[in-house]
């Protein structure tokens, strides 16, 4: 069985992207640098299902990009629920706002522009669902800052834990992103989780329930 074939098969038998998500993906590929940073479609589907099962009141996202994953996670948000989303690249602001408005989420998402490391400690709330998807080299630091902000039974999702397969032979890879992800994977079990593990789809999604 080839990984790509399994993915294609799973896509065939999964919900298709909503019109809004498809438009964010199309617009990002046409107009934004590094469009491959978008959350994978199949993973977006799973994230919507996780959100629907959790019904979070407060969601936090580290790495907003063009808003795709925020729109996915909003799927199960409670009626008065809110998303906080952190993004370092201010140039994405107008496109991000346009995309959130298209998803009718402009009043449900607090955007914070700046370095996540500086912003996370100043967030007032704790969260039911957190998605970590920013600077891979800082994953261990993010984990240390985010764990206390996660509510009991809250869910932490961490993207790219396979890092294109590099994590399978980590001793061969010395780049700071690989080191950051490997650091996260060895640090995470030191925190208290009811359950944690890797969903081996797309570039690898780590999930832990506090």
- State the DSSP string of 159-210: E-SSGGGGGGGGGG--SHHHHHHHHHHHHGGGS--SEEEEE-STT-EEEEE-
Tokens of 3: 């990984």
Decide if residue 37 touches ligand SAM (CB under 6 A): yes
Residue from 86, 146, 157, 202 that binds ligand SAM (CB under 6 A)?
Answer: 86
Q: State in angstroms the smallest separation of the CB of 190 from ligand SAM.
A: 23
Site for ligand SAM in 107-126 (CB under 6 A): 115-116
The 89-108 site mask, x for binding ligand SAM (CB under 6 A), equals x-------------------
Decide if residue 134 touches ligand SAM (CB under 6 A): yes
Contact 207, 155 (CB under 8 A): yes
- How far from 46 is each of 104, 114, 189, CA to CA, in Å? 21, 28, 23
Tokens of 12: 């065939």
Residue from 45, 48, 51, 69 that binds ligand SAM (CB under 6 A)?
Answer: 69
The 136-175 site mask, x for binding ligand SAM (CB under 6 A), equals ----------------------------------------
Residue from 51, 68, 185, 207 that binds ligand SAM (CB under 6 A)?
Answer: 68
Cβ closer to ligand SAM: 128 or 133? 133
Q: What strands, in cross-sheet order, belong to the sheet with 205-209?
A: 109-113, 82-87, 58-62, 127-132, 150-159, 205-209, 195-199
Cβ closer to ligand SAM: 87 or 128? 87
**Among the listed residues 154, 152, 161, the one whose alpha carbon sits nearest the alpha carbon of residue 43:** 161
Decide if residue 38 touches ligand SAM (CB under 6 A): yes
Contact 161, 113 (CB under 8 A): no
Decide if residue 17 touches ligand SAM (CB under 6 A): no
Binding residues (CB under 6 A) for ligand SAM: these are 37-39, 63, 65-66, 68-69, 86-89, 115-116, 133-135
């Amino acid at each position: 069985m080839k990984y790509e074939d399994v993915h294609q098969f799973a896509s065939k038998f999964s919900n298709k992207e909503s019109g809004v998500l498809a438009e964010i993906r199309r617009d990002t590929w046409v107009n934004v640098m590094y469009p491959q940073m978008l959350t994978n479609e199949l993973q977006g589907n799973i994230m919507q299902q996780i959100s629907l099962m959790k019904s979070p009141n407060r969601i936090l996202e580290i790495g907003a990009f063009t808003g795709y994953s925020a729109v996915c996670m909003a799927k199960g948000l409670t009626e008065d629920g809110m998303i906080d989303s952190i993004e370092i690249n201010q140039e994405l602001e107008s496109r991000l706002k346009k995309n959130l408005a298209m998803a009718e989420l402009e009043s449900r998402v607090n955007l914070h522009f700046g370095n996540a490391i500086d912003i996370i400690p100043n967030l007032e709330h704790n969260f039911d669902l957190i998605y970590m998807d920013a600077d891979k080299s800082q994953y261990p630091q993010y984990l240390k800052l985010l764990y206390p902000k996660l509510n009991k039974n809250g869910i932490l999702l961490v993207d790219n834990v396979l890092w294109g397969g590099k994590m399978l032979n980590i001793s061969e890879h010395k780049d700071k992103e690989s080191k950051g992800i490997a650091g996260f994977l060895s640090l995470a079990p030191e925190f208290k989780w009811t359950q944690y593990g890797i969903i081996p789809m797309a570039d690898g999604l780590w999930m832990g329930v506090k």
